[in-house]
A and B are shown apart, each in its own frame.
Chain A
Amino acid sequence: MINQVATNGHATSNQNGIVIDCKLKQVYYGDFLAVRDSDVPIEKGKITGFIGPSGCGKSTVLRSLNRMNDLIRGFRFEGHVHFHGQDVYARNIDPVVLRRYIGMVFQQPNPFQMSIFDNVAFGLRLNRFRGKVGERVEQALTRAALWDEVKDKLKNNGLSLSGGQQQRLCIARAIATEPSVLLMDEPCSALDPIATRRIEELMIQLKQNYTIAIVTHNMQQAMRVADTTAFFSVEMSKGGRTGYLVEMGPTQQIFENPQQKLTKDYISGQFS
């Protein structure tokens, strides 16, 4: 089924195609309202890009999806996030288990201080994976387009790799446990253009097996990789700046024919 874009800018679509249905009402850090009113459905097998100016809450929304924000003091989420029909913010949901299904790649490459092999095997061992760990590690590294570069030095420390390789290692580590969704929080912002291009190619390949949501401050990147794009903006409010979703739809439409003036201004401001 194809998504249809409603006139209010929010996408509505067939429930079957949606892996994570995020209906965010308000997110607070302490007393500070960080994000409000953002309905962000993440479609299966597609790449959803989050764009917007700094402080617009795109990372907060992304990190709300697998409850990574729970680690931040004062974080409070109002609304719900449905994942396979369950509200991940329900009282009986264990965020630790949830994060095994929704993997994450961070802005800074953050391999563990251990060998390349152990980095990738970490999640498998965590889940007491019964099977051939070596095969899964190879598979994950191959999918992350890193295998050929590291197959002869799997015992080397993960931190000995270059930045771009480290980030691919982190992707391999995240996909080794076969999560159904991969969240990527500005995965290329610490990388040079060549490494960035490799990660982008990789994301497009990974789409076959995983659903991806990516935050990026690089609009060209969103244009290149995202199938659906969500544009967030920020407004002054009591106690600080509050982010919210302005518009979400197929990437081509967001960039070529945005429905909202804010989106249009932001996009043209960057490119004209």
Chain B
Amino acid sequence: MSPVLPAVEGRAVQATGAGARPAAPRLRRSPWETRALRSTLLTAGAWLAAIVASVPLFSVLYMLIVRGGSRLSWEVLVELPPAGFEMGGGFGNAIVGTLVMVGLGALISVPVGIAGAVFLAELGPNSSLAAAVRFAAKTLTGLPSILAGVFAYASVVLVTGTYSAPAGAVALAVLMVPTVLLTAEEAMKMVPRITKDAAYGLGCTRSQVIWKIVLPTAMPGILTGVMLAVARAAGETAPLLFTALFSSYWLVEHGAVGLMRPTASLAVLIYNFAGMPFENQIELAWAASLILVMIVLFINIASRLLGRRRA
């Protein structure tokens, strides 16, 4: 005798008589049922959308490798850009310029961003200043990059009287600060409360907890944010157009570094050369694009690896 099943709301209990067993449920697949069809369609749609989303990256990469790869050589990496009808040449100075400006930009934005994040995550997370800073940073992440250029033009170029690498670096730093700040804050917030409690319990001051526990524990996350900011800055053109301008010469000449003058960058070189009527320059623009994408890709992969080391 099977016990009488309690009636479940909305579902009649199958029991035709005392001792009767309910019919076995049908468990076989029925792929043409409406429910199953809808599921299959949605799954296919999601797959398709995922593939479409990756098409731009791979088609760009394909074009760059085909068009830029053919021109790639040691020569283009170390030589100066050619003039009008000149053949050959390269964009060594633009690579150096990009690295110098992104490096200087990071030098400005990383300390500011991390120190700001310490305030947001640890010192005054609930203060009105923190709310204002967060709002400003989030707005700044959506700032059209050309406005960062306008800012640097007004605050550095006009003041120093010249287009220069530092002016470009300031423009890039303006774009990098919010990314560094917000990702570093997130990384620091991820440090468990109990870990910080342990440090306080051992007799750490607040600054010791931050220096010895919070920052080291959050470091992989912070580095990921820095790398993402650097990768974005490396590809920016607009902020450099009227801050660093462009140059056909090296930053270092006769053994002296001359930062306070127009400076070449890969992004601006691509912008300039792609619009020229000369085959040589257009080929160089393709090659420079490939190099730039490879730099950005390399930085992104590096940030992935740094982030993963934590887990």
Residue numbers in A under 8 Å from B195 (CB-CB):
110, 112-113
In the complex, A126 has a CB within 8 A of chain B: yes
Q: How far is the CA of A103 from the CA of B199 in the complex (A)?
A: 10
Of residues 49 through 99 on chain A, the ones whose CB sits less than 8 Å from some CB of chain B are: 66, 68, 71, 73, 96-99
- Which chain A residue has the least Cβ–Cβ distance from B213? A112
Q: Does B202 contact A (CB under 8 A)?
A: yes
Interface stretch of the complex, out of A169-177, A213-221, A237-245, A263-271: A169-177
Q: Of residues 185 to 222 in B, which have CB atoms within 8 Å of A's CB atoms? A: 192, 194-195, 197-205, 208, 212-213, 216-217
Q: Are B203 and A110 in contact (CB under 8 A)?
A: no
Kindly list chain A residues whose C-beta atoms are within 8 Å of the C-beta of B201.
66, 68, 99, 103-104, 106, 174
With both chains docked as a complex, state the minimum distance between the C-beta of A4 and any C-beta of chain B, in angstroms. 33
Given A112-B213, A113-B216, A113-B217: A123 and B203 interface contact (C-beta under 8 Å): yes
- Assess whether B202 is in contact with A68, with CB atoms less than 8 Å apart: no
Question: How far is A258 from B198 in the complex, measured between Cα atoms in Å?
Answer: 35
A94-126 with Cβ < 8 A to chain B: 96-100, 103-104, 106-108, 110-114, 122-123, 126
Interface size on A, residues (CB 8 A): 27
How far is B194's CA from A66's CA once the two chains are assembled, in angstroms?
16
Which of A99, A108, A112 contacts B203, CB < 8 Å? A99
Nearest opposing residue in chain B for A105, CB measure: B201
CB atoms of A96 and B213 under 8 A apart:
no
Which residue of A71, A113, A114, A123 contacts B202 across the interface (Cβ within 8 Å)? Answer: A123
| Chain B 162-197 near chain A by CB (<8 Å), digits 1 or 0 | 000000000000000000000000000000101101
Question: Is A253 on the interface with B (CB-CB < 8 A)?
Answer: no
Q: How far is the CB of A25 from chain B (nearest CB, A)?
A: 25
Q: Which residues of B have CB within 8 Å of A99?
A: 200-203
Judging by beta carbons under 8 Å apart, are A126 and B208 in contact?
Answer: yes
User: Given contacts A68-B200, A71-B200, A99-B200, is CB(A110)–CB(B205) below 8 Å?
Assistant: no
When the two chains form the complex, which single residue of B192, B198, B205 contacts A170, counting CB atoms closer than 8 Å?
Answer: B198
Which interface class (under 10, 10 to 19, 20 to 34, 35 or more) fits B? Answer: 10 to 19
Interface centre among B126, B195, B197, B216 (most CB of A within 10 A): B197
Given A110-B192, A112-B213, A113-B217, CB of A100 within 8 Å of CB of B197? no
CB of B197 within 8 A of CB of A68, answer: yes
- How many angstroms from the CA of A63 to the CA of B212 in the assembled complex? 23
Task: State whether A96 touches B198 (Cβ < 8 A).
Answer: no
Partner of A103, one of B202, B205, B208, B212: B202
> How many Å lie between the Cα of A177 and that of B198 in the bound state?
14
Is A127 an interface residue when CB atoms closer than 8 A count as contact?
yes
Chain B nearest CB from A165 CB (Å) reads 16
Cβ contact within 8 Å between B194 and A108: yes
Contacts known (A96-B205, A126-B208); A110 close to B197, Cβ less than 8 A:
yes
Q: Which residues of B contact A71 (CB under 8 A)?
A: 197, 200
A96 touches B204 (CB 8 A): yes
Instruction: Specify which chain A residues have a CB less than 8 angstroms from the CB of B197 in the assembled complex.
Output: 68, 71, 104, 106, 110
Among candidates B192, B203, B212, residue contacting A127 with C-beta atoms closer than 8 Å: B203
Within the complex, which residue of A73, A98, A110 is in contact with B198, where a contact is CB–CB below 8 Å?
Answer: A110
Query: Which residue of the partner chain B has the closest CB to A104?
Result: B201
A122: which B residues are within 8 A, CB to CB? Answer: 199, 202, 212
Chain A residue numbers with a CB within 8 Å of B126 are: 73
How many Å from the CB of B93 to the closest CB on chain A?
43
Among residues of A, the one whose C-beta sits closest to the C-beta of B194 is A110
A106: which B residues are within 8 A, CB to CB?
194, 197-198, 201
Q: Find chain B residues with CB under 8 A from A110 CB.
A: 192, 194-195, 197-198
Please, which residue of chain A has its CB at the minimum distance from the CB of B216? A113
Within 8 A of A (CB), among B23-58: none
**A33 → chain B closest CB, angstroms:** 23
Residues of B within 8 Å of A123, CB to CB, are 202-203
Query: Contacts of A113 on B, CB cut-off 8 Å?
Result: 195, 216-217
**Distance between A169 CB and nearest chain B CB, rounded to angstroms:** 11
A–B complex contacts, Cβ < 8 Å, 21 sampled:
A68-B197, A68-B200, A68-B201, A98-B203, A104-B201, A106-B197, A107-B194, A110-B195, A111-B198, A113-B216, A122-B202, A123-B202, A123-B203, A126-B202, A126-B203, A126-B204, A126-B208, A126-B212, A170-B198, A174-B201, A177-B203
Closest 3 CB pairs of A and B: A100-B203, A104-B201, A110-B194
